[in-house]
Chains A and B, each alone.
Chain A
């Protein structure tokens, strides 16, 4: 542009059409030139072009651009993440505390628990999960026995497959596999159910009726899973042992009686009890995490999806941590 020019004339006389983005750009250009002290005019617009220009010009604020935040530095990121983790930690403590208080209240006054809902949840998370638990634990027993048999057969120690399966399944695989199934089925369902209730204001409605969500929504789920997961784990143990016996009988020429006799020798009280203790811990963790994420849901259907995904990921991570912690405790106690 000529430096001496003091007037800009934008003639749209031959323009037949214009989109909103171009109109906004043109108006922005006009305003910027005016700010620089140039007399600027847009003329000749007619018909559709004029209408679009008028429409865009009528929006006083236009589209607000997003904040162009500078990329945070490493120290700032560490700070933010530390704050987030601390806040999450406090929220978890708060949630667990409220659940414990609700449990205390329920012990003093069991009528506070909606038992009909609790029984229904037990049926859904227990009886309805039986086929999938049976299938998975049978296959785990089968595959574990097969892997063990490959090595033990070389040493003529086929019968010890039964020992390995009995101990491994009752102490480790049975409870863990059942917990993973419970997390995927019940834990995810808890997060989705409570998340949907949260976004559809049902949780708020409960509170306005005077019902605390903890005894009314959280405790029934904790009770249902705590009762059902150990039972499922016991059944899963039995089915996994049957899976191992299948390999023993069909692949290793062991008799069913010999396999089960060896298994019974290894099934001590503590082998079963440690598995059940783990199962109970898994169940409580799954229920609490599902409910925590569900009740923290924000933002409609998308929020429910996000909460459910986060709940399942947190559950799986927690199961591994809890499993490792209990294994160390049992090792330290020599049981």
Chain B
């Protein structure tokens, strides 16, 4: 595993799971500051579970997760990371403006006019300018995700987690979202950690990726997507990047 002098996230010897059952173990990797890091794997491989642990929504069964040198803790202070959930997870009873403004009203003393201005700018950044007064139910899936990104960026965190940002989106919306993420990463230097199994998105934006496997109960590959596709000898990795069933790949 490549080391870095200034890792944004450091994961060492981590095992995760639920109700005493280990789902993934022996997880070791680091995410560099300003990197776009993808967590890959088939359905049920534990990608989202690992992400929940990185965010701090669950504690690892073993090992250590450090974000900026400290274990992720929620609630005690302003969040150190923004999160986009798979469904957007916008609060249904609030307008988009209120959703995006909630982190600001919770953690800053900005006057209402300033909060409104920040909300407007974040929504414009994700292409939803003018939608402040809309309810989440009035939006399409892609718009919800973009609004979720706007909320995740409200406090301008240096780190953003994204759970399957492109899932369920048409190819054009998905490409637009990838562009947006690249803009954030290049423009603001935001570290992005995304869970995905969308190959076009992985090749378009991810600098490095970690691949998880259900049978192996842990990581099976770490590296740049193109390197893994072209040079990996692991039939499971080759099968994933070539969109083939793993058995057929192993036999060939």
Q: Which residues of A contact B (CB under 8 A)?
A: 58, 60, 117, 197, 200-202, 204-212
Contact B55 A208 (CB under 8 A): yes
CB proximity to A under 8 Å, residues B23-58: 52, 55-57
What is the bound-complex CA distance between A204 and B85, given in angstroms? 9
Q: Which residues of A contact B86 (CB under 8 A)?
A: 201
A110 to chain B, nearest CB (A): 15
Q: Which residues of chain B from 62 to 98 have any CB-CB distance to chain A below 8 Å in the complex?
A: 74-79, 81-83, 85-87, 89-93
Contacts of A204 in B (CB 8 A): 52, 57, 83, 85, 89
Q: Are B87 and A200 in contact (CB under 8 A)?
A: yes
Q: A210-B103, A211-B106 are in contact. Are A205 and B75 (CB under 8 A)?
A: no
Complex interface: chain B residues within 8 A of A209 (CB): 79, 102-103, 106, 151
Q: Looking at the complex, which one of A58, A202, A205, A210 makes contact with B77 (CB distance below 8 Å)?
A: A210
Across the two chains, which residue of chain B brings its CB closest to A216? B106
Partner of B57, one of A60, A117, A207: A207
Q: Tell me the complex Cα distance, A201–B248, Å.
A: 37
Return chain B residues, CB-CB under 8 Å to A201: 85-87, 89
Which residue of the partner chain A has the closest CB to B58? A204
- Return chain A residues, CB-CB under 8 Å to B74: 207-208, 210
Which of chain A's residues have a CB closer than 8 A to the CB of B245? 58
Q: A202-B89, A202-B91, A202-B92 are in contact. Are A208 and B79 (CB under 8 A)?
A: yes
Residue of A nearest to B77 (CB): A210
In the complex, which residues 87-119 of chain B have their Cβ closer than 8 Å to any Cβ of chain A?
A: 87, 89-93, 102-103, 106-107
Docked CA distance A69–B110 (Å): 60
Q: Which B residues touch A200, using CB under 8 A?
A: 87, 89, 92
Q: How far is the CA of A169 from the CA of B92 in the complex (A)?
A: 40
List 20 additional contacts besides A58-B248, A205-B91; criterion CB under 8 Å.
A58-B247, A60-B247, A117-B93, A197-B91, A200-B87, A202-B89, A202-B90, A204-B89, A206-B91, A208-B55, A208-B74, A208-B82, A209-B79, A209-B106, A210-B76, A210-B79, A210-B103, A210-B106, A211-B102, A211-B106
Which residues of chain A are near B151, meaning CB under 8 Å? 205, 209
Instruction: Tell me the complex Cα distance, A211–B89, Å.
Output: 14
Instruction: Determine if B92 and A210 form an interchain contact, defined as CB atoms under 8 angstroms apart.
Output: no
By a CB distance below 8 angstroms, the chain A residues around B52 are 204
- Kindly provide the distance from the CB of A115 to the nearest chain B CB, expressed in whole angstroms: 13
**In the complex the two chains form, what is the Cα distance from A210 to B92 in whole Å?**
18
Interface string of B181-197 (1 = CB under 8 A from A): 00000000000000000
CA distance A201 to B56 in the complex (A): 14
A208 near B91: Cβ-Cβ < 8 Å: no
| Residues B83 and A210 in contact, CB atoms below 8 Å apart | no
Q: Is the CB of B85 within 8 A of A211?
A: no
Within 8 Å CB of B76, what residues of A? 210
A-B contact pairs, 21 of them (CB 8 A): A58-B245, A58-B247, A197-B91, A200-B89, A200-B92, A201-B86, A202-B91, A204-B57, A204-B83, A205-B89, A207-B57, A207-B74, A208-B56, A208-B74, A208-B81, A208-B82, A208-B83, A209-B106, A210-B74, A211-B75, A211-B106
Task: Determine which residue in A207, A208, A211, A212 has the highest number of CB atoms from chain B within 10 A of its CB, and name it.
Answer: A208
Assembly CA distance A212 to B52 (angstroms): 17
Known contacts A200-B89, A204-B85, A204-B89; A210 and B57 CB within 8 A of each other = no
B89 contacts A210, C-beta separation under 8 Å: no
- Nearest-CB residue, chain A, relative to B55: A208
Chain A residues contacting B106 (CB-CB under 8 Å) are 209-211
- The residue from A58, A117, A205 contacting B83, defined by CB atoms under 8 A apart: A205
Interface residue from A60, A207, A210, A212 paired with B78 (Cβ < 8 Å): A210
The 3 residue pairs across chains A and B that have the minimum distance between CB atoms: A205-B89, A201-B89, A201-B85
- Interchain CA distance A201-B75 in the complex, whole Å: 16
Q: Return A175 CB to nearest CB of chain B, in Å.
A: 30
A206, B93: Cα distance in complex, Å: 13
CB A247 to nearest CB in B, in angstroms, measures 44
Taking CB atoms, residues of chain A closer than 8 Å to B247 are: 58, 60
Q: Please, which residues of chain A bring their CB within 8 A of the CB of B91?
A: 197, 202, 205-206
CB distance from B245 to the nearest CB of A (A): 8
* Residue with the greatest number of chain B CB neighbours at <10 A, chosen from A58, A60, A205: A205
Chain B residues with CB below 8 A from A211, complex form = 75, 102, 106
B190 to chain A, nearest CB (A): 16
Min distance, Cβ B87 to any Cβ of chain A, angstroms: 6
Cβ of B51 to closest chain A Cβ, rounded Å:
11
Give the distance in Å from the alpha carbon of A209 to the alpha carbon of B103 in the complex: 6
CA–CA, A264 to B22, complex, Å? 67
Closest Cβ of chain B to A282, distance in Å, is: 26
Q: What's the Cα separation between A205 and B247 when bound, in Å?
A: 38
Residues of B within 8 A of A58 (CB): 245, 247-248
